[in-house]
Amino acid sequence: MIPGVDCSSCVYFSPAPHGGAAFGQCRFLPPQLHFTDDGKLKTAWPLVGKSDFCGSHATPENEDSQ
């Protein structure tokens, strides 16, 4: 992993409203469909850890090159 390149420094990362301080939402791809505990269909952004990383990381400086 490259130092300083993780989900928390990505332009697609959004702090999760219910995920706590260590988690956020990845908004690189559209929300995903899933079933709730009561069987209803719902959409949600993938939940990721701030220290996670992937090959789609983008900063404001390189966002246009994606």
Q: Hey, what are 39's tokens? A: 């069987």
Residue type for 60, please? P
For the chain, the domains span 1-51
The pLDDT tens digits for 28-64 are 999 999 999 999 999 999 989 999 999 899 987 765 5
Q: Specify the residue for token string 């952004």.
A: 45
What integer pLDDT is reported at residue 6 of this predicted model?
A: 93
